[in-house]
Amino acid sequence: MNYNPDSKCTAFAGTKKIASGTMIDVALKIKDHLAKDAKASILVFDDRTSQQVELDLRGTKDAVVKRLEALRSPDAEAEIEKKTGPGRPKLGVVAKEVTLLPDHWDWLSRQPGGASVTLRRLVDAAKKKNAAKDELRQAQDAAYKFMTVMGGDLPNYEEALRALYANDAKKFGKLLQDWPKDIREHASKLAQL
């Protein structure tokens, strides 16, 4: 996974939230926490996807910050300028394979602007039309990933997942009532119910 040191994430030591913020801020707070409790088991989650984040915390705080800052993606313009070949690299156009049936290709070829323009238009229209559904699904998936790792053994776990995917905020909140406060609050925040 490519990390961006400015991405937001949250760290837990057991069931207790110890840090939330940019990856750099969280890494520094984890270093402080580990200075007090070297045996703490810490998990870090990306706030958008709930993917677990592996941070290299070796060395001093300055060394940690330096490594994280080195992860920043190079300037997009510099990357685009390096690319050569056909296409529109300055627009960020990427060539990939699309497999369609012959009648689909025939229809696309008859559209103004050709297949690429038509496909981009169709994708943009679908993104706009489904934006709310996509956002809800992404929130549910992020909550699911987090809940599975942090709450898989907690009471009402399976029922809470059913309430999450049924968009039943009231039931979801009630089922998480007996969960540790920090886990309950983070799962609710991710679920956006």
* Domain assignment present for 120: no
Helix, strand, coil percentages (3-state) for the chain, rounded to 5, are: 55, 10, 35
Q: Are residues 76 and 147 in the same domain?
A: no
Q: Of 70, 92, 114, at which residue does a domain stop? A: 92
Per-residue pLDDT of the chain (193 residues; tens, 9 = 90+): 567 888 899 999 999 999 999 999 999 999 999 999 999 999 999 999 999 999 999 999 999 999 998 887 665 444 444 555 555 666 677 878 888 888 988 888 888 888 888 888 888 888 788 778 888 899 999 999 999 999 999 999 999 999 999 999 999 999 999 999 999 999 999 998 7
Strand ranges across the sheet with 8-13: 16-22, 8-13, 42-46
Number of domains observed in the structure of the chain: 2
* Domain assignment present for 105: no
According to DSSP, the residues that pair with 21 across neighbouring strands are 9
Q: Are residues 86 and 135 in the same domain?
A: no
Q: Are residues 5 and 86 in the same domain?
A: yes
CA angle 136, 129, 173 (to 5 degrees): 15
Query: CB count, 10 Å around CB of 8?
Result: 15
For 8, the domain range is: 1-92
Q: Are residues 22 and 85 in the same domain?
A: yes
Query: Pick from 20, 3, 17: which is nearest to 55 by CA?
Result: 3
Q: Is 94 left (phi over 0), alpha (psi -120 to 50) or beta?
A: beta
* Domain assignment present for 45: yes
* Domain assignment present for 16: yes
- pTM here? 0.74
Q: Of 62, 92, 122, at which residue does a domain stop? A: 92
* Domain assignment present for 3: yes
CA distance 158 to 155: 8
* Domain assignment present for 166: yes
Burial of residue 192 (CB within 10 Å: 0-12, 13-18, 19+) is: middle
Instruction: Report the number of secondary-structure helices (H) and strands (E) in the chain.
Output: 9, 3
How crowded is the C-beta side of 24, counted as CA atoms within 13 Å? 14
* Domain assignment present for 11: yes
Q: Are residues 20 and 85 in the same domain?
A: yes
* Domain assignment present for 180: yes
Backbone φ and ψ for 9, nearest 5 degrees, come out as -150, 170
